[in-house]
Amino acid sequence: MIEYEIHGPKSQELSLKRVVLALQENRFPQAVLIDGAAGIGKKKLAIELMQALLCTHPEKRPCGKCFGCKSALAPEVAEQWLIPLKAEEAKAKTAEEMTSRSKSTSVEEFTSSYAKKILENPYAIDYLPPESIISIDLVRALNKKFTLRSPTARCVIIAEAERMNTEAANAFLKTLEEVPDNTYFILTTPSKDLLLETIRSRCSSIHLQTWTDEEIKYEFQKQFSREISPDNLGLCLGSFGRAIFFDEYIESTSSLAVSFITLAYEKRYSDLFLLLQQAGSKIELDSALLLLDVLSFLLVDITRAQANLPLRLPETFSKIPVSLLEHTSPKSVQIALNKVQETSKILAGRSTSIMMTLQTLAIKLFDGEL
């Protein structure tokens, strides 16, 4: 019997054991859907599965050395990836359509460049622009490749499958209805509820759990040779990808969040607007959403401190003035929290000015508070 080995944190052990068993018993499904929070290793698992499925070692898979194993780790093999693209990238010519003198970038090259980023850091949560989608053209190109039979195993990773628009999803459904022999589709998504029911029902589901604090601490130390900050550990919510992302931004965002909450509480709006304007050039959608994330956690921490519970952001929380903590009722904190969450939704809808939305939040945050 061929032995399979798939790696992952202990909190995902149950799901991984099921996967290994299916591989060993030679009944691995031809279409699987891996779901779970962003940054917990869905793409990492997808890559390992692709290696295991393409590996030809007679005893131990993935061996890491054979042609199949190596091709799974080669971003230039673009047909192994279906990755959401920006509209202008998806409109590019295919390699087949290009003339040898053409200097423009092909669809395959765009796909490979994203695949390269994923292979370099499969936990990354910010490798894709928010507007990228899986369009019908990308799915049609994929379908075309599977009209011919193949003597060897083929595997395609469909990253962020929820970004398929309806047209694309319906086209992909046709492929799923009759997956060619020797072909495996591995879809990843942060939430399978975002996919069409018809697609979900044709895929076997693998749900991945978030990591424990200990697992995050261990992996962070291993990758960065230093400890993760206590605030980042609280903010990342068991997602290693979020931890990597926050590591870069947590310091500046935390200090802005403390000023925001303090100045809003003291109703020093002109000082707050000035501060936002100074940070202005740096405040883009991602950083504004991150600021709101930190604000929510700080508000939750106010309630947690009042109830003597451990804090999520101990370092940042310690910078909030005591008067604010003493004079804020749990109810007003809850109201403020709702306002922050509403603001996140408004910003994510991207129809308003970021600066104005943040200013409105500042004025409303402790509305009615003494």
Say how far apart CA 69 and CA 57 lie, in whole Å: 9
Q: Which is nearer to Zn ion, 53 or 161 (CB)?
A: 53
Say how far apart CA 359 and CA 175 lie, in whole Å: 49
Q: Which is nearer to Zn ion, 69 or 261 (CB)?
A: 69
Q: Which is nearer to Zn ion, 69 or 365 (CB)?
A: 69
Binding segment for Zn ion among 48-56, 168-176, 329-337, 345-353 (CB under 5 A)?
48-56
Q: Which is nearer to Zn ion, 57 or 267 (CB)?
A: 57
Q: Which is nearer to Zn ion, 61 or 192 (CB)?
A: 61
Q: Residues 45, 33: contact at Cβ < 8 Å?
A: no
Give least dist CB 23 to Zn ion, A: 13
Which residues, 67 to 96, sit near Zn ion by CB under 5 A? 69
Give least dist CB 115 to Zn ion, A: 19
Interface with Zn ion, residue 57, by CB under 5 A: yes
Q: Which two tokens stand for residue 97?
A: 């359509």
Q: Which is nearer to Zn ion, 23 or 300 (CB)?
A: 23
Give least dist CB 55 to Zn ion, A: 3
Positions of E strands within 220-348:
none
Binding segment for Zn ion among 37-45, 62-70, 214-222, 299-307 (CB under 5 A)?
62-70
Interface map 155-174 toward Zn ion (x if CB under 5 A)? --------------------
Residues 6+ apart with CB under 8 A from 236: 39, 216, 228, 242, 243, 246
Give least dist CB 64 to Zn ion, A: 6
Binding segment for Zn ion among 7-15, 63-71, 168-176, 352-360 (CB under 5 A)?
63-71
Options 20, 24, 29, 66; binder of Zn ion; rule CB under 5 A: 66
Binding segment for Zn ion among 21-29, 60-68, 142-150, 156-164 (CB under 5 A)?
60-68
Q: How many residues bind Zn ion (CB under 5 A)?
A: 6
Give least dist CB 25 to Zn ion, A: 19
Instruction: State which amino acid sits at residue 66.
Output: C
Q: Which two tokens stand for residue 18?
A: 């099921």
Return residues touching Zn ion (CB under 5 A).
Answer: 55, 57, 62-63, 66, 69
